[in-house]
């Protein structure tokens, strides 16, 4: 009996400590997001640093969510998406740190091979065919690429 109570207290303390660490990190990232933002969007890259076909990972804070995303330069057009496959909630670059198919024509999820269009995020082949990546708004200002948060209910970001 005593050992059960003791273990329960230990697990409760560990849980509260992990909650505290998570909260502290979130507030730290939120402050950093404020420092690196203009008009509510975070500066992700200089235009000249993201060549055509290249991808850059980033995170932003949207309401109460920390969102992992990626920014891609598709022949001079910049697109940003939440880095989460629509088949299962895993990052597209799971393990390999790659986002683009071997022929360079599509964004690719390396878990099961789903292919997405660069410009729309639409899944055109694979188990999520017909669904689209969650888009994040992008704008270019003074030679910098900024990514903001979508409007409205963002509860889908907590998945
Ligand atoms: S998790 Fe992306 S295709 Fe299955």
Residue 8 has pLDDT above 80, yes or no: yes
- Report which protein residue has its CA nearest ligand 1's atom 4: 112
Q: Are 78 and 55 in contact (CB under 8 A)?
A: no
Q: Are 86 and 132 in contact (CB under 8 A)?
A: yes
Residue 159 has pLDDT above 70, yes or no: no
Ligand 1 centroid, distance to 57 Cα (angstroms): 18
Nearest atom within ligand 1 for CA of residue 90:
1
Q: Give tens-digit pLDDT for 30-56.
A: 888 888 888 889 999 999 999 998 999
Instruction: Choose the CATH number for 40-158 among 2.102.10.10, 3.40.50.1110, 2.40.50.140, 3.40.440.10.
Output: 2.102.10.10
Per-domain boundaries in the chain: 1-35, 40-158
Measured CA to CA, the distance from residue 131 to residue 156 in angstroms comes to 14
Residue 144 has pLDDT above 70, yes or no: yes
Spatial CA neighbour of 125 closest among 141, 144, 105, 145: 105
């Amino acid at each position: 009996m005593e050992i059960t109570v003791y273990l329960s207290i230990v697990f409760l303390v560990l849980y509260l400590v992990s909650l505290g660490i998570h909260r502290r990190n979130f507030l730290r990232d939120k402050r950093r997001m404020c420092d690196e933002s203009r008009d509510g969007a975070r500066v992700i890259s200089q235009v000249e640093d993201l060549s055509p076909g290249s991808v850059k990972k980033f995170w932003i804070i949207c309401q109460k969510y920390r969102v992992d995303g990626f920014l891609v330069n598709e022949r001079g057009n910049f697109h940003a998406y939440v880095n989460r496959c629509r088949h299962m909630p895993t990052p597209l670059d799971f393990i390999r740190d790659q986002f683009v198919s071997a022929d360079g024509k599509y964004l690719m999820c390396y878990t099961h091979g789903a292919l997405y269009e660069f410009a729309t995020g639409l899944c055109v082949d694979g188990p999520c065919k017909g669904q689209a990546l969650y888009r994040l708004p992008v704008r270019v200002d003074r030679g910098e690429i900024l990514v903001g948060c979508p409007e409205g209910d963002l509860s889908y970001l907590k998945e």
